[in-house]
Structure 1
Amino acid sequence: MNLLLFGATGRVGSHILKQALADGHRVTVLVRSPDKLSPPAGDQLRVIAGNVLKPADVQRAMKDADTVISTLSTDGSTVLSEGIPHIIRAMEQEGVTRIITVGTAGILQSRTSPELLRYQSSESKRKLTRAAEEHHKAYLLLEKSGLDWTIVCPTYLPDGDRIGSYRVEADFLPEGGAEISVPDTADFTYSLAGSRDYIRSRVGIAY
């Protein structure tokens, strides 16, 4: 598989990169600071220095990709909502259809108010909604596209360990779910790269 990974230097993305390389896949990463990468040596990794906010950089990275994974975070900026349109456009132009992104449990449906998303309802305990609003914009853009998208939506995300056992549920956070580790979020996200499960769906994940 030829995998294109955005957010490879981040918490979740760095775990996905290591797993994909260990499994023998060819991985392309688009990163602003290649010096922040610490992957195993080998010719499976193609590193492109660039910015997801520059369409030409995204288009260059998309060449020969089979599947796209994005773990772009909000980081107090609009990189996510501004970058996703460039990714969608490049995928459409290159004929790539499968994308898995990492969002937030805030954009899952609320159990208490099913007509609302969790961050819009009393179900969410977070006072600040800016990050969820960014992920919501990305969700709406993917929903309008013709791509085979899946958004993995973790709740509280401590570093933790990879346990390999967790609960997932389409469109909702598993009942009583309070946290999920970074490695287990990466594990599930990466597993979807070779799967047709949860196409055009958000997926809540928690222990």
Structure 2
Amino acid sequence: MKLIIFGASGTIGKQLVLQALSLGHSVTAFGRDKTKLQEFTHPHLHFFEGDVLNSADVERAISGQDAVFCALGNGRKGIVRSQGTHNIIRAMEKKGIKRLICQTTLGAGDSRSNLTFFWKHLMFGWLLKQAYLDHELQEKYITRSSLDWTIVRPAAFTDGKATGHYRHGFSATDKTLQLKISRADVALFMLTQLSTDEYLKKTSGLSY
């Protein structure tokens, strides 16, 4: 498939690029600075240097793609995730592209109940409050769209290989989670959504 990855230079985005290419997909890596991906070379990898907050850039980059992956980081002013995703959604609807797979965070929406006191009140209630609110608004834009969306809500990121051994789709009251997941496994799970409708227009938590 022809895939575009927004946030391609981030830690999840880089994993998405590498794994998508290994699966034989054609990948467009969207970012403000292509030198951040200069270590990647592949005949099926294309770079689009642009600003996700610029709707014209997003629209040009998205033309002709089969599916869209969103792994935007916090970036400037704490609005990049929500406003960038809003631009992506509008461009997809305009171009008739339906499939969106977006990474947000465990703790958004009803999954807030999965969190410990530390994550709920200290991290997302204080230290990462702006990022958390940005994810909340990001999810609202997605769920109100006409797209065939899947929202993936991973726990705290760790390093490590893609194992495929993780938990997903657990209830919002599950308190047995490790509340961590490798970046490689996040990317693996997101790419797996291309071949299943299990979480079509649904959210899924992701954790060990």
TM-score, scaled relative to structure 2: 0.88
- Counterparts of 1:86-165 in structure 2 under 5 Å? 86-110=87-111, 117-118=112-113, 124-125=120-121, 126=123, 127-128=125-126, 129-165=129-165
> Contact 1:119 / 1:132 at 8 angstroms: preserved in 2?
no
Q: Give the aligned partner of residue 65 of structure 1.
A: 65
> Secondary structure of the equivalent of 1:105?
coil
Cα RMSD of the aligned pairs, angstroms, is: 2.1
Map residues 12-23 of structure 1 onto 2, 5 A cutoff.
12-23=12-23
Unaligned stretches of 5+ in structure 2?
none
| 1:30/1:173 CA distance change after superposition, 3 Å | farther
Q: Mean Cα displacement is larger for which, 56-65 or 170-179? A: 170-179
Q: Which residue of 1 aligns with 2:78?
A: 77
Using the size of structure 1 for normalisation, the TM-score is: 0.88
Matched-pair contact (CA < 8 Å) for 1:105–1:118: no
Q: Distance in 2 between matches of 1:51 and 1:102?
A: 19
| 1:201 shift after superposition | 1.2
* Structure that is richer in helix per residue: 2
Cα deviation, residue 81, structure 1? 1.2
Contact 1:2 1:26 in 2 (8 A): yes
Question: How has the CA–CA distance of structure 1 residues 85 and 119 changed in structure 2, closer, same or farther, with 3 Å as cutoff?
Answer: farther
Q: For 1:90 and 1:119, how far apart are their aligned partners in 2?
A: 33
The percent identity for this pair of structures is: 34
Distance (whole Å) between structure 2 residues aligned to residue 99 and residue 69 of structure 1: 6
**d(CA) in 1 for partners of 2:169 and 2:182?**
17
Q: Return the letter of the residue paired with 2:120.
A: S
Q: Secondary structure at the match of 1:153?
A: strand
